[in-house]
Homo-oligomer: A and B are copies of this chain.
Amino acid sequence: MQTTIDNGEALTARQTEVLDVALRLLVEEGDSLTMTAVARRASCSKETLYKWFGDRDGLLTATVQWQASKVRAGNYDRQHLDAAALRDSLEGFAVNWLSVISSATSIALNRVAVSHAGSGKSNLGSIVLANGRFAIGERLKPLLDAGRAAGLLAFDDAEEAFRTFFGLVGRDVQIRLLLGDTLKLSTAAIERDAKRAVDQFFTLFGAANRPKIRSL
């Protein structure tokens, strides 16, 4: 993308090992993790940490990007798209997204990214945004477009349709978890929520059985 020299693939095994430690520590202690703690836990010296990642922000940035590179899921592009396939794909997206945002890792990373976005001390916020909200948007919109092309969906703007889908799936989950609400989402609950969200989405944007949806 920009700025950083090590764009992600210039990482040795030992370095990713260190980043995994940092990730685990970030989940445990949040933004209050110290360089000393990372070094001790990873059995490496602080000097090495600074040599590899520059400074604390560099370490955090590399950690976030490392996690993002692990999460990147495959795109859903089917050749044969009927109503059932579309529904399956949407439910897959919803399940995946709910699983991600309710995971301890995502919560910890989003928290530190939010705080750094406040202090303006790094661009963790935009990194998380690019690999979270916007990444899923870019992956989902082609599916929505294909659904419209197949006569299964009706909307004017894929971006707007996606934002509504995003709201129907996520609702209040992410903000509650980020603010420390103890909200347990079982896999059963996640699948139930995903189905409900997709049902609602089809009610709003399904093409087959509806009169014209009023455009914005």
Contact-residue bracket for chain A:
35 or more
Interface bits A156-199 vs B (CB < 8 Å: 1, else 0): 00000001101111111011101111000000000010001001
Instruction: List A residues 84-129 near B (Cβ within 8 Å).
Output: 108, 110-115, 117-120, 123, 125-126, 128-129
Shortest A181–chain B CB gap in Å is: 6
CB distance from A138 to the nearest CB of B (A): 13
* Secondary structure dominating the interface of A: helix
The 10 closest A-B pairs by CB, nearest first: A117-B180, A30-B118, A125-B180, A167-B171, A167-B167, A115-B115, A111-B118, A125-B179, A129-B179, A163-B171
Residue A69 CB within 8 A of the other chain: no
A168 touches B164 (CB 8 A): yes
What residue in chain B is nearest A30 (Cβ atoms)?
Answer: B118
- A:26-55 near B, CB below 8 Å: 29-32
**For A29, A180, A204, which residue has the most chain B Cβ atoms within 10 angstroms?**
A180
A203 at interface (Cβ–Cβ under 8 A)? Answer: yes
From residue A107, how far is it (CB to closest CB) to chain B in Å?
8
Q: How far is the CA of A192 from the CA of B157 in the complex (A)?
A: 15
A78: chain B residues within 8 A (beta carbon)? none
Q: A150 → chain B, closest Cβ, in Å?
A: 22
Query: Which of A129, A166, A172 has the most chain B CB within a 10 Å cutoff?
Result: A172
Q: A200 CB to closest chain B CB, in angstroms?
A: 5
Q: A167-B172, A171-B167, A172-B166 given as contacts; is B126 within 8 A of A180 (CB)?
A: yes
